[in-house]
Amino acid sequence: MSSVERDVQAGRLRGCWHGGAARFLGIPYGRPLTGAARFAAPDTAVGWDGVFDATAFGPSPPQPADASCPPNPPFSDPDDYLRVNVWTPDPDAAGLPVLVWVHGGGYVSGTSADPSFEGTGLSRDADVVLVSMNYRLGMDGFALLEGAPANRALLDQEAALRWVRDNIAAFGGDPGNVTLYGQSAGAGCVAALVTRPSARDLFRRVILGSVPNSYQSVERARQVAADIAGRVGARPTAEDLARIPADALVKAVATDPAQNVPAPVLDGEVLATDPWTAFGDGALDGVPLMIGHTRDEYRLFVARAGLLGAITADEAGDALSTLAPGGPDSYWKAYPDADPEELYCLVIGDALFRMGTYRLAELHQGPTYLYELGLTVPARDGALGAPHCADIPLIFDVYDAGLGIELYNGEPTCAMRELGALMRRSWGDFARDGDPGWLPFDRDRRLTRSFNGQVSEVRYPEEASRRIWSDVRFGSLPGSTPRPDGS
């Protein structure tokens, strides 16, 4: 692999060519989060002498152990993880569209070093400069604490966007043509971030995949922070928790029996309101939006919990009683042939992802392009259907690691590879000029691009659920429901 060097504001970088794109990895955009800085707004005054080796990913944020989170590099500072990565098909170009990726992980896990998000294929095939980032997770990123700004993870992401604005031209990118793209918890972050007035000039377009309905009120966020801090013998203050090792807080979050974890909080300052209210009020007026979800969002989490084929009628009834607008009858009547497991997955998937995502498309005041991925993945002999995260291997063209192995067995068919190539081109076209290649959505026709066995434009496929949820105001979940632990 031949090396390539570029100058950014902080100094000179050395990256390398890999698979048809030049990649620059582990570039600091913020100073290490040590001591008092751990719960402060990010400090972006970074720099170095000589040439920075940008040929390997930097450290990942503290999080539960997982195969998708590679071990931190030896001799690295584990607090020095505010890093960005850049892939470019042509570092000598000028004016390439820029796609900024924000990973998911239930707000408590995830890293830009996850091999599922290796960006060479997406950058090359979409002909975009691709940027990914790390940001604070869990208590460090989202807990509402006395003596600390709220939503520190969002402040990290905004700082990374400012780094893109100031430096992306060095990689062939156009700082005035930035598309912000998030999936799952990453989409939850992006949907919140783009409503901030201070971020408005940092992007031109937005892509949201599987937006979670998981924003917290101040009251709930305070209770979550107090409960978790109490498990480590501390108060929910920045001063107290700065003395608690990060891995101890990670364990305290993971052992919450109610699965109440830190998430974006509607604090009225960093995040003034929920995305549904903000979109409806025109916060993104005129901004092109591409948005969608998978058909069978919740089946992945049931499978990861070892519960496929084991959901009982009582468990389905409890989920329906807790979450279904109008009570269980609404789903029993709309889906008369569904078994208990199907109903369980439907109502939780609708509450967490599908209906909130759809509603943002309805509320957005600007060009909107809606999609659904309905491709049944080969894993578990097709029992997952088209689950949460099934879009990620297709879009990143990564099947031999991470989600590609979990969902596609590492061996996608030729048709699946062709679908992924089409999706990458569509994502690139949208980033380039705001048109992914299908007709826009409106509330009358509800046209939706279906990425299924045959790619086509159809009326929104989830009409039964749409009708059930048509009068629900989104912003927080009604009652409680299992928390998604994946990307």
Q: What are the respective helix, strand and coil percentages of the chain, to the nearest 5?
A: 35, 20, 45
Report CA-CA distances (Å) from 381 to 296, 305, 376, 384, 406: 15, 17, 10, 8, 12
Half-sphere exposure of 420 (CA within 13 A, CB side): 22
Do residues 132 and 119 lie in contact, with contact meaning Cβ atoms separated by under 8 Å? Answer: yes
Sign, Cα dihedral of 207, 212, 218, 223: negative
CB 197: neighbour CB atoms within 10 A? Answer: 8
Report CA-CA distances (Å) from 156 to 33, 333, 347: 11, 45, 33
CA–CA separation, 204 and 194 (whole Å) = 10
- Bin 184: left if φ > 0, else alpha if -120 < ψ < 50, else beta: left
> What is residue 273's DSSP assignment?
S
CA dihedral 350, 449, 96, 125 (to 10 degrees): 100
H or E element: which one contains 371?
strand 368-373
Kindly provide the b/e burial profile for residues 427-466, where b requires at least 16 CB atoms within 10 angstroms of the residue's own CB: bbbbbbebebebebbeeeebbbbbbbeebeeeebebeebb
What are the catalytic residues? 184, 297, 388
**Whole-angstrom Cα Rg for the chain:** 21
CA–CA separation, 441 and 369 (whole Å) = 5
Q: What token pair was written down for 110?
A: 């995830």
Q: Could you tell me which residues come within 8 angstroms of residue 377 by beta carbon, excluding any fewer than 6 positions away?
A: 384, 385, 386, 387, 390, 407, 408
Helix (H, G, I), strand (E, B) or coil at 329: helix
H or E element: which one contains 259?
none
Closest CA to 82 of 141, 150, 32: 32
Do residues 298 and 384 lie in contact, with contact meaning Cβ atoms separated by under 8 Å? Answer: no
